[in-house]
Structure 1
Amino acid sequence: MKRIFVAMAALLASLSMSAQQNISFREGKLVSPQVNSDRTVTFRVKAPKAKSVKVLADWEQNDGQGTMKKGKDGVWEYTTPQLTSEMFTYRFDVDGVVSVDPVNPFTRRDVGNVFSIFYVGGGAADEYQVKNVAHGQVRTVWYHSNAGNADRRMNVYLPAGYGKTDKKYPVFYLLHGSGGDENAWLELGNISRIMDNLIAEGKCEPMIVVMPNGNFGKQAAAGETAENLNYKPMMTKFLPHYKDGLYEMAFPEIVNYVDATFNTIADKQHRAIAGLSMGGMHTLMIAVNYPDMFNYVGLYSAGVDFTQINMEAIPAYANLDGKLSKLAQSNPKLFWIACGNADRLMPFNKQLMERMNKDGLKYTFHESSRGHLWCNWRQYSLLFIPQLFK
């Protein structure tokens, strides 16, 4: 017995050492990123043999790029101009090899790329933080889609206090863009934190937020399907059922599941829907095909470029002007459109608004700066959500 015990102890010690080596702790004095009091940010990376190092990011100044300078200790450094309050993503380019910041453990995946992140406070990003407020919960659920002949995954945010009484809540359906999935609004949009904070601050009504997977040819996010790690994240245009209208026409399956599963107020007056980019296209087509389902509609940088498809050949997209007129007759309380002035989709959003003018559908338009970026979509949510269910 003693020999067995000693052998097992040696094996466990070996596994422990192996695990520690695999973890590769990155302790040291190097700090990156360093968010300074003046809203500038300093980046550092140790690469003594490198010849050129850049930081590639999504802030506005200098197109989000910064050339780093090498110090005597082999540490490259760069300090940004003063930045606005936001969550930013970035990576390092070391002699043409692009990677995350090796001393920053906080990352986000966007489509198939992984980025390091940081926050600059004093504005919008304050709503993306975990604060000392009552917190809601996020449930990951599966519903069966008869149209898709599969079980499909979605995330549902439930506000603080949900389930403690028989109280029923309005529902906000929030859709992702091409390359996204049911996790996108949680991970890149910080939506659960935004909801916790807006509700606690009295800026919006307590509500349920439903985040489905809009890639109708897939059951769930990459790594969460029966294909496991064989399904790599990719833009939706490379997947089955892209812009064929099947997802939009099958959307009542999601609404019916939510109403049957959660404490909802199951009527038009207490339902809202919004989406970014491809999700904006989905939102538009769901709203016009089901004009009595949603009282609040939001398009964030909507992917309403109709030049690449034969609209009349697809039932969900056919007779758009007639459907817009019918939606106008149903008189939604709010139809809200937002787009950046540098977004390539701005001309198509303007064309859509011209059609809406002719078809009598009233809307509110918000023009922001910049282009097709998560910073805009997060900030659009800060503007749109407080207008719901008033």
Structure 2
Amino acid sequence: MQYNVISADNHILEPRDLFTTRLPKEYRDRAPRVMRGEDGGDGWSWDGKTVDRTLGIEATAGRAVKISGYTWDEILPGNYDGAAHLADMQQEGVDAAVLFPSVPLMAWSMHDDPYALALMQTFNDWVFDDFCAADPKRLIALPMMPVHHGMDVLLAELDRVLKKGARAVHIPVFPDKPYIDTYWDPFWAAVADAGVPLCIHRTSGGIDTSTKANFQFKVPGVNVAGTVIRFFSGVEPLTLMIFTGVFTRHPKLKIMDAEVNFGWIPYWKQQMDQSFEQQKGWAKFPFETKPSETLGKNVFVSVLDDKIGFDLVKLDPQMADVALFSIDYPHSVCLWPNTAKYIEESTAGVDPVAKQKILSGNAVKLFNLD
């Protein structure tokens, strides 16, 4: 099919009864479930008694932006229903969407708990068998990889979701074992051989021990400061993978960091290449080419209405090879509705070839769409 606009970063809010009805029976008493919160909204409970925060900024598309307080009936069905999600995308001229999970992300903070594995596999089955069944060519699932359950379990789940038609896989930003460890090489090799990209999302997944994470919803201003900071969160994990030779050992491996924009990339490229040239006499780098050569070959990012980034494409054509457009539906910064207006304003003056790459071409190649 023809893809003119692809969102490389959309989100799912899983159905309210998914885990209570589809988890293995031995875990259903622990299953996350939707309950009424103290503010009158609905939220997810992990103990069957309390709701930490009700629905809000994570499901605000088409509604007034607020931190919390929505009931389940107030949010759009496109949050949890594949056909409705497609209808919302079609309304704004978006031909396909890459889908990040929401509720089961907590599983990556449970380390190697068998319950965590059950949560991930329940999501993985549902997202392929139900949500994306509405149109697998337009809804691209991101199955969660059980990175904390041993290499054998990890590779088995990779093989299982590939058989279900996975075009990419989702890993946490904060694994228990850093991705610079060669422990991961069998997984990197298997993913590269399968021709599917890894996907991470800002600072999502695993345990973030930073101060801002602990105070995100407790100190006014920290939450929005975190929104700004997370646009620069790709620098650390991507630089570490590049400089420790992950892509030298696995030249076909690809990774996309979602919702980080790309106005920062020209300086990042300059600093990586400059540091490489200045320090290569002693640093024993496990690669010989400029670090920036991995961009658009191994390393990609998703971008919203980053006007500075789009303007810089005119000066640095490589940026058009790195970026994949996204609308971040249904979150509070989403470019939905009025997606066409955001695209027109952001890409004004951008070379048509570069524009096409960012809006759809790079996604078609990265996710093997046809």
TM-score normalized by the length of structure 1: 0.36
TM-score normalized by the length of structure 2: 0.38
State which structure, 1 or 2, has the greater radius of gyration over its C-alpha atoms: 1
Higher RCO, Cα 8 Å, sep 6+? 2
